[in-house]
Amino acid sequence: MNTLWRWEYPRYDPKSERLVEAMCTLGNGRFATRGAAPETVADDIHYPATYLAGCYDRLTSTVAGRAVSNEDMVRLPDWTALRYRCLPDGAQPGAWLTPDHPTQRHHRVSLDLRTGTLTRRMLFHDSDGRRLGVTHTRLVHMADPHLAAQRTVLRAYGWKGRIEIASVLDGDVVNAGVDRYRDLAGRHLINHRAGVEAEGTAWLSCTTSTSHIRIGLAIRTSALSLAPVSSACTDTTSTQTSVLPIKPGRPVVFVKTAALFSSLDRPVADPLDRSIRYAANAPDFSSLCASHRAAWQRLWSEGELRVAGEPGRILRLHAFHVLQTLSPHTAELDAGVPARGLHGEAYRGHVFWDELFVLPYLSLHFPETARALLMYRHRRLPAAREAGRLAGTGGAMFPWQSGSSGAEETQRLHLNPRSGRWLPDHSHLQHHVNSAIAWNVWQYGLATGDAGFMHGPGAELLLHIARFWSSAATWDAGLGRYRIRGVVGPDEYHDAYPGATAPGIDDNAYTNVAAAWVLARALDLYGDLSAARRADLLAQLDLGANDLGGWADISHRIYVPFHDDVISQFHGYGDLVELDWNEYRARYHDIRRLDRILEAEGDTPNLYQASKQADTLMLGYLFRPAELTRLFARLGYAFDDRLWARTVAYYLDRTCHGSTLSSLVHGWVLARQHGAQAWRYCQEALLNDITDVQGGTTGEGIHLGAMAGTLDLVERGVVGLDPGTDGLHVDPVPLTEIPGSAFSVCYLGHRNLRISFRPGRFGISAPPSLCGPLPLVLPGDRHVHVAPGQERWFRTTGPRPPSDPV
């Protein structure tokens, strides 16, 4: 039974098992293990896998006659693997038991969000009346990021005898978790060695093929020390087998405790030696559980979002997956925000723009983790500058897909599974990722007041990205405007004009407006710097102080296209053909991946006014209406609520929502408009992964941006929190289905600020601290302060006198 803190799958369904495995992944921000049954191996139903943050490797494949190089997040050896079979007295040995065995009669998977543990219960019942109950409990330790453990309890009912148990450490694994990639090379691990120490600790070492990351993994299996153990090792696998007595009332209990190290760890040491010693000396399972629970309790105290009812339960699940992918341990790593978490191999574990939807939540709850993720980008600033140089621009051109080095990792070919054809991929032209990084830098600075970062790495990121946009913008004398040509917007479906031989479209409205915003903010930050720091940055940028006047000019005169009294997604969008949406829905029902449908028909979305996901409307996600009005006024364009309402309605009718982020953005934008359909899209955003709305994609990895975005939807959207230079702004957007919420945030050095939101009321409690009074900006531009140790409540609707504590 599902509860506020428990997520359950009460029956076994092979068709949905990969979804269960992804949704039941356990991690600690350093590594994660999918929630696969330990009895299984990778096949069409199951996919046991463990992934280490930042562990990538590159292989070359032959695709459509071309050599294609891809960098992947590497699937590591399986530490969970377990085999067992019954040896009843006077009977022949049974088969190895798995969830797919015909004698399996009961199966329940339970994910405990409060404690970060996964429990799988099974009951096997054979034709002779013998029953075997199996309970697995697993954790990936949140306090010690090198440890994981799995306890298995076997209970006999109606028989006695022995049970044969094989504890396996399996290094014979390949990356094969995404059907679309199965024709590509996937064997990343080489130079395997396996063995068992004299005291019984099994171990395995291996190395990634081309990145040469050394992996050490060791297993201590407790119960096997109570009986004779036979060990069998191959180059890639270590197996320890024992036969133990079992009878009713005398269960067999054994524990696998795993230790994982790699050459990515600091300080540098031999991963295998460290893993063996760590596993051998690790605490027992009950002690591990206690310290693991305590670590999760601390995480929840800082990261929980409390909302009533089913939405609250789903939001807690989303927070769980965000926290175990990007925990405080992540702050110690050189790792970015993997778009699909550490939960599967979709998108090859790469880092996209999804951090745009993740870092706002982290900046308000775990600012140290947010800072570390921005430092992942800063460490790759030299690679982005080199990419800009090779592209003929100045500044930093960050890649659409990033992995280990900061080089562009976007594939140049992608497979349409509907047609079976490999097609050119131009998504590397999504240069708007640069503005996403800059926006996150700015938001982090507003939330934390971290001047050391903003005047140091933050300024370098922001100004180098601004330099890129100033170089990418070209003057059009006919328009009297600057234009940015040859890009792909967030929509992704439109990667060229009809009949064009070169990829890219011109003047994507979101890209252009966001670039203008970046240039303006870069100038603002530059103005706050010391003279010495300004000179340093100008030297890095190879600019003179007078060159910044050009930035200001571009930020005032970038071109934004319009047609039919709405903002055009890009120049010429209004000239494209209207799609017969009703016909395609009638023929295909699910048209979320309209691009694949059209290509399989020999057609292309480049011909149509049809978008995969929110594109122009992303402006309404980043900027509140008042800021949008100021942005367009700076550019010399009229903008008001009516224009924006027409624009929202226009694209709502022309979007097929082929991305999980689309419903999130549409729900957010419509909620700000008090639109009637807002909850429909918000609800879809909540359900995206748990119901696998995109049809089989969640089993390949969760959609981390969409999950974190739903948390942000409540905190910054519904409650209306918005860190500003003059205080923490509160401007609620009431949503009937989420009438109240409670959570804690960090702001300008204040920790654990308790926020309570109720219809028409907003409360905040500031714990005692050395920080000064907390500045708040309430609706109606009311400026108030909350002193440390004080709790205050305010009205957010109705008459608003200068100060109206309730």
User: What's residue 700's pLDDT?
Assistant: 97
Mean pLDDT rounded to a whole number for the chain = 95
- Please give the C-alpha separations between residue 79 and each of 171, 190, 233, 304, 423, in angstroms, as whole numbers: 9, 17, 15, 30, 38
**Mean pLDDT in residue range 512-535:** 97
Residue 1's pLDDT is: 59
- The fraction of the chain above a pLDDT of 90, given in percent, is 91
DSSP state of 413: E
- Mean pLDDT to the nearest integer, 199-215: 97
Cα–Cα distance measured from residue 597 to residue 591, given in angstroms and rounded to the nearest whole number: 8
Does the pLDDT at position 481 exceed 90? yes
- The alpha carbon torsion through 395, 399, 403, 409 (nearest 10 deg) reads -130
Residue 405: CB atoms within 10 Å: 15
Locus of tokens 């915003």 = 517
* φ, ψ at 710 (rounded to 5°): -70, -35
Residue 3 has pLDDT above 90, yes or no: no
What pLDDT is stored for residue 548 in this prediction? 93
Residue 226: what pLDDT?
A: 60
Is a pLDDT exceeding 70 seen at residue 804? no
**pLDDT reading at 805 higher than 60:** no
Q: Are strands 727-730 and 774-778 parallel, antiparallel or unpaired?
A: parallel
pLDDT for residue 224: 56
Query: Could you give the 3-state DSSP secondary structure of residue 743?
Result: strand
Band the pLDDT of 546: cuts 50, 70, 90.
confident
Mean pLDDT, residues 543-551 taken together? 90
Evaluate if residue 300 carries a pLDDT over 50: yes
Per-residue confidence (pLDDT) for residue 803, from 0 to 100: 31
Q: Residue 164 pLDDT > 60, yes or no?
A: yes
CB contact at 8 A, 355 and 341: no
- Read off the pLDDT of each residue in 411-427 and give the average, rounded to a whole number: 92
pLDDT on residue 336: 97
pLDDT tens profile 683-740:
999 999 999 988 889 999 999 999 999 999 999 999 999 999 999 999 999 899 999 9
Identify the CA nearest to 410 among candidates 390, 388, 433.
433
How confident is the model at residue 323, as a pLDDT?
Answer: 98
Average confidence (pLDDT) over 129-157: 97
Q: What percent of the chain has pLDDT over 70?
A: 98
For residue 214, give both structure tokens: 């050394």
- Residue 118: pLDDT band (50, 70, 90) is very high
Q: What is the pLDDT of residue 65?
A: 85
pLDDT beyond 50 at 354: yes
Quick one: how many helices (H) and strands (E) in the chain? 21, 32
* Tokens (6 digits) for 244: 């133990």
Catalytic site includes residue 492: yes
- Of the residues 492, 684, 700, 715, only one is catalytic, namely 492
In this predicted model, what pLDDT tens digit does every residue of 592-611 receive, in sequence order? 999 999 999 999 999 999 99
The pLDDT value recorded for residue 800 is: 34
Evaluate if residue 515 carries a pLDDT over 60: yes
pLDDT digits (tens, 9 = 90+) for 43-82: 999 999 999 999 999 999 998 888 999 999 999 999 999 9
Q: Which pLDDT score is estimated for 717?
A: 94
pLDDT tens, position by position, 548-593: 999 999 999 999 999 999 999 999 999 999 999 999 999 999 999 9
